[in-house]
Amino acid sequence: MLENKLATLQRLVSSTQEASESGWQALIDEDRLLSRLECLENQLHIYGKNHTEESLRQELVALQEDKSVYETTAKESLRKVLEEKLEAVRKLSDLERSYSNTEDECSHLRQLCEGAQTELQELAEKHETQLKAVAEAEQKLQEAELTHSEELEKVRQEKTDLEGKLEDMINQENTLSAKVESLQADNDFTKEQLTAMKARLESLKEQSSGIDKETDSQSVQVDIISIDKLDNESQENSKELEDLKTSAATVTVTAGVNVVDTDSSDNSDNSESETNGDFNKDDVTDGDSAEVAFVKGKA
């Protein structure tokens, strides 16, 4: 766009200069031709007349005046032409200066354009790099989300399995608790029987003086057999209570570990209840063992 304007301006300056030179040359040629025609007409007029000396003098004066007028007119025309030429030269100088300034501005704008294009290219490259980085980050994020989802699903599955195992262990614990209660009842019953047998032995000892020895021996033998049988049953029950206590402790510890992974509050409650239950079982077992030992000593 700017180069087209500069080319048009240059053509305009050249055409103006050519027009000025051609106008000046045409004006000179026309003036020269008119002067020659006027001179020939004057000569023809002079040669066609018979002039006296006075008329020749007047004619010469007139010619001198015409010459003076012609010279004045020619000088004025030359002055105007010179002024026009100077004006054209001044305009040409202004146009050349404007052309030079325009070229400088064009060069500056071209440099700015090249710089802008370079910056634009760099920005495009940076934008492309950022797009690649964003794409890589999105891909990593998707992979992380997928991995997190898989891990979360795995944890949920493990939690479900642990909850199932915990429920099974709770059921086992309830079953063991029921067995412990049953054995506790059997121990209580055995304890009552031992107490009754002890009382019976005491009464038999007190009445042994008035009873036949053979009958007393047979009764004592039967009582001893019954006591031994009850003693064996009490020992078996104590052993079974110990085994159940060990199993219950194992179930409690395993359930406590699993509950810590799923729910810490449930672990605390179950541990407290198991601890209290074990404490009561130990007390009952120790009491029964002491009672059986006492009865055996008496026997």
Each residue's pLDDT tens digit, 202-243: 888 777 655 544 444 444 454 555 555 666 666 676 676 677
Q: Is residue 6 within 8 Å of 103, Cβ to Cβ?
A: yes
Question: Concatenated DSSP letters for 220-234?
Answer: HHHHHHHHHHHHHHH
- Report d(CA 49, CA 45) in Å as an integer: 7
- Tokens read off for 245: 């206590």
229-267 burial: b if 16+ Cβ within 10 Å, else e: ebbebbeebbeebeebbebbeebbeebbebbeeebeebb
Please report the beta strands in the chain, taking only residues with DSSP state E, as ranges in sequence order.
Answer: none
**CA-angle at 79, arms to 77 and 81, nearest 5°:** 70
**CA-angle at 190, arms to 188 and 192, nearest 5°:** 70
**Radius of gyration (C-alpha) of the chain in whole angstroms:** 71
State pTM to two decimals. 0.34
Look at the alpha carbons of 128, 130, 136, 139 in this order and tell me if their dihedral is positive or negative.
negative
- Tokens read off for 152: 């979360």
- Report d(CA 5, CA 101) in Å as an integer: 13
87-118 pLDDT, tens digit each: 888 888 888 888 888 888 888 999 999 999 99
Q: Give me the count of residues in the chain.
A: 299
Grouping H, G, I as helix, E, B as strand and the rest as coil, residue 249 is helix
Grouping H, G, I as helix, E, B as strand and the rest as coil, residue 263 is coil
For 40, other C-beta atoms within 10 Å of its C-beta total 10
- Report d(CA 276, CA 265) in Å as an integer: 17
Q: How far does the chain reach from its first CA to its final CA, in angstroms?
A: 133
Per-residue confidence at 289, pLDDT binned at 50, 70, 90?
A: very low
Listed range (14-23, 43-52, 67-76, 184-193) with the worst mean pLDDT: 43-52
- Report d(CA 261, CA 23) in Å as an integer: 111
